[in-house]
Amino acid sequence: MSVLIFVDHADGHIKKSSLEALCYGAKVAELTGTSAVAILLGTVTEDLASLGKYGVKKVHQVNNEQLNHLDAQVYTKIIGETVASINATVVVFSNNVTGKAVAPRLSARLKAGLVAGAIALPDTSNGFTVKKTVFSGKAFANISLGTDIKIISVNPNSYPVTSGEGTAEVVALNVPVDAPKIKVSATTKSSGQVPLTEAEIVVSGGRGLKGPENWGMIEELAKLLGAATACSRPVADAHWRPHNEHVGQTGIAIAPNLYIAIGISGAIQHLAGVNRSKIIVVINKDPEAPFFKAADYGIVGDAFEVVPKIIEAVKKLKGVA
Amino acid sequence: MKILVCISKTPDTTAKIAFTNNNTKFATDGVQWIINPYDEWYALVRAIELKEKDPSTTIHLVTVGLADADAIIRKALALGGDEAIRINADSHDSYYIAAQIAEVAKQGGYDLIFTGKETIDYNGSSIGGMIAELLDMPYISLATKFELNGVTAMVTREIEGGEETDEVNLPVVVSCQKGVAEQRIPNMKGIMGARTKPLKVNEPAAIESLTTVASFELPPAKAGVKLVPADNPAELVRLLHEEAKAF
Ligand SMILES: Cc1cc2nc3c(=O)[nH]c(=O)nc-3n(C[C@H](O)[C@H](O)[C@H](O)COP(=O)(O)OP(=O)(O)OC[C@H]3O[C@@H](n4cnc5c(N)ncnc54)[C@H](O)[C@@H]3O)c2cc1C
Ligand SMILES: Nc1ncnc2c1ncn2[C@@H]1O[C@H](COP(=O)(O)O)[C@@H](O)[C@H]1O
């Protein structure tokens, strides 16, 4: 018996959300008295033996560059066969873009119950239940899995990455790789930016910023803090910002350590995407803005006066001129 | 060309979230139900646009739900689509729902199956992938753009920090989100026409559920906001650094 953790990568690097999944999976193995094994499809620059420091004993790698592009159908078959060959009883994914494509397929293939969006370790005191977010972050559900094989997709930023000592044994998996049905024809990435779902800090702007020309200070603050930028839906709808920055119920759901909302009123649909942030800071000129009810810290004031002063103070703190 | 669009019924985005029966059931009293926004605004509208370009296209809508989902499916038909199939079952198990839809899809021989990115109540983001696996079709999730060129689909999808464009031959299952289409309002003609469009009710196939909801909980309430005067933003930075240890 073992816990199998799927390790996802992009541009030759293992994603941070996968390190979270590794640590989560290692802990599940410890709690259930089994061992943690990782599987990586494709090639990365990192030394896979070093993944041992996150608690996995073995890393299976299918060293085939075709697999550097996602085809969920091809991935699922390989993972499914690996689950059977190593007798895995729990499979852990990050609930990131790849996990959302592959974990459900694997669930259907293996008839294994899936909890997508887990935010805590399983409770095994009475069966096997896993807590996940529901109602777009407005509530949680404890989902019971009664199937022999259980699949858990862990929400990014909900389990800490900790590392210790240890090296993993790296095993090259020699399995047939089906020809992909999906051909990648283009990839565009906003360079140098922190991906929104992986960011520890997010600086976000709303309609209160009046127009796209005023985003300079948002970007400057984000850059100083190593943060990603986000926006409310009307801002994306008006094309002030790209739609992949839109957070909320109909946008991206995020759970950073720090969310700074500037000129955003805090409508329930906006909160639904950001209410799992650990610390929320609201800057709004209207003391009655609903966002203040969900905030930890706030300033009632004009963003155009307040934000430059925040930038100044952060620069001082970080010792940048 | 035959398109199947998966439609689910969800509480209105402003619905109060509360639970009954010892926190095992969602309290539906006074809740307004809507078409899941991703299904309506993106999946369905894109299917309608494809039909507008190629009128020989047939669009079927499918929902797994009890009779109380009929109002939702009629509303979807008012936007567009030729007929609807309701599978008469109530479930929140993604696999159960996906397997029911896969049964319908096997009968229908669809070239394209659209789902929304996720339901805004159970947030599984799972059903499209499960349907694809059950039908042995490719799956592209979190699409932000969908174009057809004969039997080849060009699908742009979200990746961390950017987008990727994939080329795939039909049949394919695609989960849709913002970018794929623009929200539409049904017109009078559509609303009148929807009344006479066929809405078939199928009894569910025998399918096992893989998960059950043991209980729900609400997040703990926030302690309250700590306000910093507007003339002293440096104090906010100090608090975030020293007290909250946020950076
Ligand atoms: C079905 C549905 C789904 C939705 N999904 C989403 C979603 O996913 N995400 C989302 O964000 N919204 C969503 N919305 C829209 C949501 O209801 C709100 O309309 C939206 O979030 C408001 O955006 P905003 O706060 O930027 O703008 P507004 O509500 O216009 O707020 C602007 C705020 O800026 C403040 N302000 C103005 N000037 C200044 C200044 N100089 N300095 C400081 N503050 C200032 C104002 O006091 C105000 O509070 C959805 C709506 C519906 C119906
Ligand atoms: N009961 C249902 N009936 C039909 N389609 C559904 C149902 N539930 C979910 N779907 C579809 O599957 C998508 C993803 O749902 P989920 O995996 O539950 O987040 C939704 O956007 C719908 O398109």
pLDDT in tens, B82-96: 999 999 999 999 999
In a domain, B244, yes or no: no
Output the pLDDT for position B144. 95
Question: What is the structure's pLDDT at A190?
Answer: 74
- Whether A72 sits inside 8 A of B165 (CB atoms) is no
**Which whole number is the average pLDDT over B96-121?**
97
pLDDT at B29: 93
Structure confidence by residue, pLDDT tens digits, A237-265: 999 998 889 999 988 999 999 999 999 99
Of the listed ligands, the closest to the CA of A282 is: 1
HSE-CB at B93 with a 13 A cutoff on CA atoms is 21
Residue A192, pLDDT above cutoff 70: no
Where are the domain boundaries for CATH 3.40.50.620 in chain A?
Answer: 2-172
What is the CATH number that goes with domain A196-318?
A: 3.40.50.1220
Q: How far apart are CA A103 and CA A94, in angstroms?
A: 9
pLDDT tens-place string over residues A205-228: 999 999 999 999 999 999 999 999
CATH number at B82 reads: 3.40.50.620
Q: What pLDDT band is residue A320 in, cutting at 50, 70 and 90?
A: confident
Q: Strand, helix or coil at B95? A: helix
Question: Nearest CA to A114 among A98, A84, A136, A93?
Answer: A93
* Chain A residue numbers touching B162 (CB-CB < 8 A): 187-190, 195, 244
pLDDT value, residue A243:
85
Do A115 and A28 meet the contact criterion of CB atoms below 8 Å apart? no
Q: Which residues pair with B64 in a beta bridge?
A: B87
Quote the domain boundaries for residue B68: 2-219
Nearest-angstrom CA–CA distance, A112 and A103: 10
User: CB of A108 within 8 A of CB of B133?
Assistant: yes
Whether the CB-CB separation of B184 and B125 falls below 8 Å is answered with no
Checking if the pLDDT of A25 tops 90, the result is: yes
pLDDT at B7 over 80: yes
The pLDDT, as a whole number, for residue B114 is: 98
According to the model, what pLDDT value does residue A193 have? 73
Q: Residue B157: which of A71, A61, A202, A292 has the closest Cα?
A: A71
Across the interface, whether the CB atoms of B158 and A293 are under 8 A apart is answered: no
Alpha-carbon distance B98 to A109, whole Å? 12
| Contact state of B140 with A257 under an 8 Å Cβ cutoff | no
pLDDT at B221: 84
pLDDT band at A191 (very low <50, low <70, confident <90, very high): low
* Encoded tokens for A161: 């990455």
CA distance B115 to B173: 8
CATH 3.40.50.1220 boundaries in chain A: 196-318
Contacts of A189 (CB under 8 A, 6+ apart): B159, B161, B162
Under a CB-based contact definition with an 8 Å cutoff, are residues B181 and B75 in contact? no
B239 belongs to a structural domain? no
Query: Is residue A49 within 8 Å of residue A170, measured between CB atoms?
Result: yes
Question: Which has the closest alpha carbon to A207: A292, A303, A276, A272?
Answer: A303
Query: What pLDDT score does B52 carry?
Result: 96
CB A294 within 8 A of CB B222: yes
Is A152 in contact with A36 (CB distance < 8 Å)? no
CA nearest A58: which of A3, A103, A124, A122?
A3
Question: In this structure, which residue's CA is closest to atom 29 in ligand 1?
Answer: A265
Percent of chain A residues past pLDDT 90, beyond the cut: 93
Segment B141-153 shows an average pLDDT of 97
| Complex prediction ipTM | 0.95
Kindly give the distance from the C-alpha atom of residue A272 to the centroid of ligand 1, in angstroms, as a whole number: 13
Would strands B33-35 and B9-11 be described as parallel, antiparallel, or unpaired?
antiparallel
Nearest CA-CA partner of A157 in A174, A133, A139: A133
Question: Which class for B109: exposed (0-12), middle (13-18), buried (19 or more C-beta within 10 A)?
Answer: exposed
Question: Looking at the domain assignment, is residue B232 inside a domain?
Answer: no
How high is the mean pLDDT of chain B?
Answer: 96
Compute the distance between CA of residue B63 and CA of residue B76 in angstroms, rounded to an integer: 11
* Probe residue for ligand 2, chosen from B33, B118, B119, B140 as the CB with the greatest number of ligand atoms within 8 Å: B119
Tokens (6 digits) for A56: 């996995």
Task: Decide: residue B226, CB within 10 A, 0-12 exposed, 13-18 middle, 19+ buried.
Answer: middle
- What's the first-to-final CA gap in chain A, in angstroms? 56
Which listed CATH number (3.30.460.20, 3.30.300.30, 3.40.50.620, 3.30.1180.10) goes with A2-172?
A: 3.40.50.620
Return mean pLDDT, chain A.
96
- Is residue B243 included in any domain, yes or no? no
Structural tokens at position B21: 């029966």
B212 pLDDT tier (thresholds 50, 70, 90):
very high
Ligand with smallest separation from the Cα of B92: 2
Indicate which atom in ligand 2 lies nearest the CA of residue B87: 3
CA distance A154 to A161: 13
**Residue A244, pLDDT score:** 87
Count the domains in chain B: 1
CA of A56 from ligand 2 middle (Å) equals 35
- Beta-carbon separation of A195 and B161 below 8 A: yes
Nearest to B116 by CA among B107, B125, B108: B125
CA distances from B207 to A35, B66, B128, B203 (A): 33, 16, 17, 12
Overall average pLDDT of the A148-175 stretch: 95
> pLDDT value at position B220?
86
pLDDT at A194: 82
% of residues, chain B, pLDDT over 90:
95
- Is the model's pLDDT at B45 over the cut of 70? yes
d(CA A209, CA A219): 13
Helices vs. strands in chain A: H and E counts, helices first:
7, 17
- In angstroms, what is the span from residue A50 Cα to ligand 2's centroid? 40
Q: Give the per-residue pLDDT at B222.
A: 84
